[in-house]
Structure 1
Amino acid sequence: ATRLGRRVLAVYFVGSQGSVVPGRKTPWERLDKRFQTCGERSMLAFFAEMQPGNILLSRASRSDRDELEGMKASSKFLAKMVDIMSLQYVNGMHPDMANGVIAQFPADVCAVSPAQDTSCTPESLEEYAKLTSGNFTLLSVEGTHMGCLKPPLGSDACDLHEKVLRHMVAEYKSQPLEAWRRRLEELQQDLVFGRLIARDGPGVGDASRAMQRAHAWVALNPWSGEDEVKGQIAKLQRFLETQI
């Protein structure tokens, strides 16, 4: 977003441990330093706290060094998980915030706080407002650090997905779709007030229903790209040419 400028509409941050602020070390760099100093068990304890329902992580974080090595030897899943965590969070890469690689950018920022993630409170995310010269939005969703990514048991709806998608649809319209929506409204008015004359008989009703179907398609496809919109325009145009 810093490099691409206004070509980026928005940046979403979900479950980050604090805000990214220009000129200040990122939360990920601070975690790197902490885990390098305190060791593997500190890393496991941190992620066990992020995922309170993960029994394997919880047990591993409480084990002494020999017990942990034994657990990794008997569980390829745990060994791989620890390797990935170490790669990402102990020996990971992070931007040099002192040289302006990440600076304030014009894209909007939306920060998301999982309600059951104690390391990612709404208050800890408020400084994301300093990262953008555009709009800043703070959302709170149900779930833990990782649990927010999926629906709760017994539900088909994921609060994170629902709220982020609603935010995207409300804030960032498809420009070709919006242009056609306005044109449809003009056509509808022209038909109603007689500026477009439909053929005698069923023509008026058929044209009105075609307009209604077109409006319904617009409502159901809020992120349609230019090619899809052009296809729907051509379809309606061909039909109206037979009726008007």
Structure 2
Amino acid sequence: MTIQKQMFVPTLVQLLVLVPVILLSLSSRRDSQASLAQSQERTQHITELKDLSERTNRYYHEKIHRSDLQTEIEKSLEQARTSLTATEARDVLETIDTCQGKIVAAKQRNAEIERTLVQLTDLSIRQSNGYIEQVATKLADPNQDDSVTTLERLVIIGANINTTSNLTVRSLFYRVASDPTAETELIAFLDTAVENTKRDIQRLANTPFAALPIEAQKANQTIHGLVTEYIANLKTMAQDKTLL
């Protein structure tokens, strides 16, 4: 073997060893860069999920239904759904989406219930106060006070109780969302109101005022049903909130 060939062999061996090392180094660098990119991407996704969770928290704790905040959450969900491809991430998003949908529906329904309850109690209070004012005006007039019957005078007491009861119902209703003890108190109060109205129906039967307790009973039963649904919705929202 010539000297030139003898020198070429070690050089070739060195190249054969060096090339894989270089390739391995380049591959390792690419893997490192890819790993860094994946890590940064995961960090971004985690930030997005945290932001989404924060928005959902804000929505849940808002007393009223806010369509603007709901829109923000839906937009964040769509952005996260587009950027996240892992199965685990999709599962998380689906859970958030489902729970958020239930919370939105429950809040919207509770807002409707609140409006209806306020309308019912307002109407009942106006009717009671209107009757009290009408009879009190007659009693204050020397020319009409004798025309007020004993029954009309007694009905004033019932009308006053009705006004007070409606105000109590509304007060307890507004406490329910923040005070769990108000739930039991409100249901018990409504149960008592329904029973009292049954007795009023019997007492005023076959009198000019027979229709009053019947209408009051319908209102009490409607309010009882609405309150029961409202409380159930609050519990549903609280349960779904724990899954977010």
Choose between structure 1 and 2: higher strand proportion: 1
On whether the aligned pair clears a TM of 0.5, the verdict is: no
TM-score where L is the length of structure 1: 0.30
Larger Rg: 2
TM score, norm. by length of structure 2: 0.30
